[in-house]
């Protein structure tokens, strides 16, 4: 079935064409000596995986309870709008909410795939080109996985959120080679990684947990790549050049904050957009979710050197300045360890199941002898 038949409202069948700017850069020095970046490239090669084989697609998903989280996570819970819904309509609302979340994931991952390819083209250093090439493959895999989950398990998609589209547009149009790093690796990927982590940790359903856990193992490397590539470069920039990038970060963070509010879901259920905004603002779960989404972005922005008083003031105004104290290295190691642990548990269970089957066959043969 065509994806366009599954959208909740028309997404437009024409391609979205973003004019590109900037140079394509070749580098004839193939013996780069940035050990950390080359080690990340090696890890990127070692960690390649097949979404068709690694994920258990036979797991059942109830489209009306995709995530298995309490209804308190819905912004209208406990309001007159919630009370007006029948049990069937509440199930359909849960389906729309999950569809909206995973739709934004798949659109963001396509943006990441295009941006990673753009970085291969524009970045001046060959070691960064090497790693970006592995990330492009990672992002293609993520698009494939999220798209399959939406088609086969939820059966519904939402078009790209306009705020995400705006940031992708700003990121891809900029001619400076470092801006795709800043827009994608730090802002879009940083927010996505945090969102994946929150949902991974609260969902009680095995298939979305598997998908998010394995995707996060890749995304942890991607954010690390942005940090390594930008830290040294930003030390060389003038105050005026740094200010331009700080303005981009502040504007991008506001776009990212507004991106995850899910207005489209509530208007689909007949709630006025202004009323929906009030419900979102008054939802404790949504406020908590929004604040956690900056747990990866804020410490990364600080780490790469864009940490002026105006950036700190912007984060303070958004209520996320405390996130700067987070240990990004520990968070990313935890993401990788959780994926390894899930693999070990799954494969141990499968091995035990196979052994039990073999033992049963042997016992039957012995009894019949």
CA distance 96 to 98: 6
Per DSSP, what are the bridge partners of residue 157? 7
Residue 22 lies in a domain: no
User: What pLDDT is recorded for position 361?
Assistant: 64
Burial class (CB in 10 A: 0-12, 13-18, 19+), 223: buried
**Percent with pLDDT over 90 in the chain:** 51
**CB–CB of 119/111 below 8 Å?**
no
User: What pLDDT is recorded for position 365?
Assistant: 63
At 362, give phi and psi (nearest 5°). Answer: -60, -45
- pLDDT category of residue 91 using cuts at 50, 70 and 90: very high
User: What pLDDT is recorded for position 13?
Assistant: 82
Residue 58 lies in a domain: yes
Interval 221-235: pLDDT, tens: 888 888 888 988 999
Domain total in the chain: 1
Q: What is the pTM of this model?
A: 0.88
- pLDDT category of residue 307 using cuts at 50, 70 and 90: very high
User: What pLDDT is recorded for position 368?
Assistant: 66
User: What pLDDT is recorded for position 57?
Assistant: 97
81-85, 254-258, 343-347, 357-361 — which is least confidently predicted?
A: 357-361
CA distance 144 to 81: 36
Interval 309-359: pLDDT, tens: 999 999 999 889 999 998 888 988 899 999 999 999 988 877 666 666 666
Nearest to 156 by CA among 61, 75, 85: 61
Measure the CA dihedral 147/151/154/160, to 10°. 50
CA distance 256 to 163: 7
**CB–CB of 216/186 below 8 Å?**
no
Residue 300 lies in a domain: yes
Rg (C-alpha) for the chain, rounded Å, is 22
In sign, the C-alpha dihedral spanning 254, 260, 261, 265 is positive
CA distance 284 to 107: 27
Interval 95-106: pLDDT, tens: 999 999 999 999
**CB–CB of 136/113 below 8 Å?**
yes
**CB–CB of 133/120 below 8 Å?**
yes
Interval 237-246: pLDDT, tens: 999 999 999 9
- Using the predicted structure, report yes or no on whether residue 19 has a pLDDT greater than 80: no
Residue 367 lies in a domain: no
Nearest to 128 by CA among 244, 44, 19: 44
User: What pLDDT is recorded for position 48?
Assistant: 94
At 326, give phi and psi (nearest 5°). Answer: -65, 145
Interval 167-211: pLDDT, tens: 888 888 888 989 988 998 899 888 888 889 999 999 999 999 999
Give the mean model confidence (pLDDT) for residues 10-26: 78
Burial class (CB in 10 A: 0-12, 13-18, 19+), 9: exposed
48-62, 186-200, 239-253, 286-300 — which is least confidently predicted?
A: 286-300
- pLDDT category of residue 305 using cuts at 50, 70 and 90: very high
Give whole-number Cα distances, 240 to 114, 179, 237, in Å: 29, 15, 8
Residue 31 lies in a domain: no
User: What pLDDT is recorded for position 359?
Assistant: 65
- Using the predicted structure, report yes or no on whether residue 364 has a pLDDT greater than 80: no
Residue 355 lies in a domain: no
In sign, the C-alpha dihedral spanning 252, 253, 256, 261 is negative
User: What pLDDT is recorded for position 355?
Assistant: 66
Give the mean model confidence (pLDDT) for residues 282-310: 89
Residue 28 lies in a domain: no
Boundaries of domain holding 57:
3-11+36-327
Nearest to 49 by CA among 187, 144, 127: 144
- Using the predicted structure, report yes or no on whether residue 166 has a pLDDT greater than 70: yes
Give whole-number Cα distances, 114 to 41, 172, 231, 316, 336, in Å: 19, 9, 23, 32, 24
Residue 353 lies in a domain: no
**Percent with pLDDT over 70 in the chain:** 93
CATH number of the CATH domain containing 152: 1.10.620.20
- Using the predicted structure, report yes or no on whether residue 363 has a pLDDT greater than 70: no
* Residue-level length of the chain: 369
User: What pLDDT is recorded for position 366?
Assistant: 63
User: What pLDDT is recorded for position 15?
Assistant: 80
- pLDDT category of residue 369 using cuts at 50, 70 and 90: low
**CB–CB of 178/199 below 8 Å?**
no
DSSP 155-183: --B-PPPHHHHHHHHHHHH--STHHHIII
């Amino acid at each position: 079935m065509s994806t366009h038949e599954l959208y909740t409202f028309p997404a437009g069948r024409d391609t979205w064409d973003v004019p590109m700017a900037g140079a394509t850069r070749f580098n004839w020095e193939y013996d780069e000596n940035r050990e950390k970046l080359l080690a990340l490239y090696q890890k990127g090669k070692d960690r390649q995986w097949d979404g068709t084989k690694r994920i258990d697609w036979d797991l059942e998903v109830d489209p009306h309870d995709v995530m298995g989280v309490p209804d308190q996570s819905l912004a209208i819970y406990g309001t007159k709008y919630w009370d007006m819904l029948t049990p069937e309509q509440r199930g359909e609302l849960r389906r729309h909410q999950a569809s909206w979340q995973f739709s934004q994931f798949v659109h963001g991952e396509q943006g990441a795939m295009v941006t990673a390819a753009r970085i291969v083209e524009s970045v001046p250093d060959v070691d960064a080109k090497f790693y970006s090439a592995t990330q492009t493959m990672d992002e293609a895999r993520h698009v494939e996985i999220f798209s399959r989950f939406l088609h086969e398990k939820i059966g519904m998609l939402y078009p790209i959120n306009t705020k995400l589209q705006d940031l992708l547009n700003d990121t891809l149009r900029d001619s400076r080679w470092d801006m795709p790093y800043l827009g994608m690796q730090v802002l879009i990927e940083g927010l996505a990684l945090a969102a994946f982590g929150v949902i991974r940790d609260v969902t009680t359903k095995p298939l979305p947990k598997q998908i998010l856990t394995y995707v996060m193992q890749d995304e942890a490397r991607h954010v690390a790549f942005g940090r390594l590539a930008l830290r040294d470069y930003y030390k060389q920039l003038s105050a005026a050049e740094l200010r331009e990038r700080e303005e981009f970060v502040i504007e991008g963070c506001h776009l990212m904050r507004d991106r995850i509010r899910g207005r489209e879901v509530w208007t689909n259920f007949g709630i006025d957009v202004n009323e929906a905004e009030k419900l979102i603002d008054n939802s404790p779960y949504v406020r908590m979710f929004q604040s956690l989404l900056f747990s990866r972005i804020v410490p990364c922005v600080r780490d790469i050197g864009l940490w002026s008083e105006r950036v700190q003031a912007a984060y303070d105004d958004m209520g996320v300045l405390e996130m700067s104290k987070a240990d990004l290295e520990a968070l990313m190691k935890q993401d990788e360890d959780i994926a390894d642990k899930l693999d070990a548990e799954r494969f141990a269970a499968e091995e035990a199941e196979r052994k039990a089957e073999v033992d049963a066959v042997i016992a039957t043969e012995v009894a019949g002898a």
